[in-house]
């Protein structure tokens, strides 16, 4: 089943849409925001996926980041999916803000109660691109890239590193860089993947970058005044692993910035230009 339109709003000469569909991976309805730049439908255009963070929906990025003006100029589709299944009925999925609903962590769960619905890795890498390329006039799966914020920054790093042939560029705002080593990640991975820490490594960018790389430099922006920096985000651990592995990256520590969408809005243009340069023919 294809996309069903929920809303369509004119924006910078393009259209900001929200659509929904029944997902085969999560077995729930899923909502997706899609910005279509001017000229969409008239010529093939590349796609940038934006993955949001904890507690977010498909709405946060499109209402707070201010990305549409730049995406319109650059001729980019920007696709921002929801962050988890909703109403799946998994045990305790609505008990905490950092696990379950709104906190899918972009993994394919293997534990009882979660494995049937919490399949956000396969949803983002397989099902959603298939729908996007079928429903929109894109430049095809060979011209797509991925970016994200916080939990979504973790997702972008992991997805891009595990599939370098399918995502031409990776960038992240304040990503959870070493989830196996921080409270958010340990809680999520225990709940979704069980207690085998070896299995966690497949979804930990600081572990992945040691053995798999990306041909393009990875861009990361991190606010120095981010309240989660020291305990949860750990960019220095990714930087050390990437440097040791020879992975090109740029880590920009931005003085005075926190974890909010004000931070994202301040640098989203840089990120979209980073992607556009690598998505060009």
Q: 281 pLDDT exceeds 90? A: no
| Catalytic annotation, pick one of 23, 52, 145, 150 | 150
**Residue pLDDT, tens place only, 233-253:** 999 999 999 999 999 999 999
Active site (annotated) includes residue 171: no
pTM of the model as a whole: 0.98
| Catalytic annotation, pick one of 204, 221, 226, 274 | 226
Domains and CATH numbers, the chain: 4-279 (3.40.50.1820)
Active site (annotated) includes residue 149: no
**Residue pLDDT, tens place only, 4-55:** 999 999 999 999 999 999 999 999 999 999 999 999 999 999 999 999 999 9
Query: How far separated are the first and last CA of the chain, in Å rounded?
Result: 31
């Amino acid at each position: 089943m294809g996309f069903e339109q929920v809303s369509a709003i004119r924006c910078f000469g393009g259209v900001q849409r929200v659509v929904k569909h029944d997902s085969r991976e999560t077995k729930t309805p899923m909502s997706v925001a899609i910005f279509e730049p001017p000229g969409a439908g008239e010529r093939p255009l590349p796609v940038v996926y934006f993955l949001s963070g904890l507690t977010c929906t498909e709405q946060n990025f499109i209402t707070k980041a201010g990305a549409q003006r730049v995406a319109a100029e650059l001729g980019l589709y920007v696709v921002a999916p929801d962050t988890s299944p909703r109403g799946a009925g998994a045990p305790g999925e609505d008990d905490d803000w950092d696990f379950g609903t709104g906190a899918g962590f972009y993994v394919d769960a293997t534990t009882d109660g979660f494995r049937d619905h919490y399949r956000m890795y396969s949803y983002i890498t397989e099902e959603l691109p298939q729908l996007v390329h079928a429903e929109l006039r894109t430049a095809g799966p060979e011209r797509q890239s991925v970016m994200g914020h916080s939990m979504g920054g973790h997702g972008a790093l992991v997805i891009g590193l595990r599939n370098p042939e399918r995502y031409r560029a990776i960038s992240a705002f304040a990503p959870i860089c070493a989830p196996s080593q921080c409270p958010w990640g340990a809680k999520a991975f225990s709940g979704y993947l069980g207690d085998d820490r070896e299995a966690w490594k497949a979804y930990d960018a600081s572990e992945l970058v040691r053995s798999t790389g990306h041909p393009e430099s990875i861009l990361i922006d991190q606010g120095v005044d981010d309240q989660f920096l020291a305990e949860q985000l750990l960019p220095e651990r990714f930087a050390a692993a990437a440097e040791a592995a020879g992975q090109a990256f740029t880590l920009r520590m931005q003085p005075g910035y926190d974890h909010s969408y004000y931070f994202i809005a301040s640098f989203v243009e840089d990120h979209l230009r980073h992607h556009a340069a690598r998505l060009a023919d």
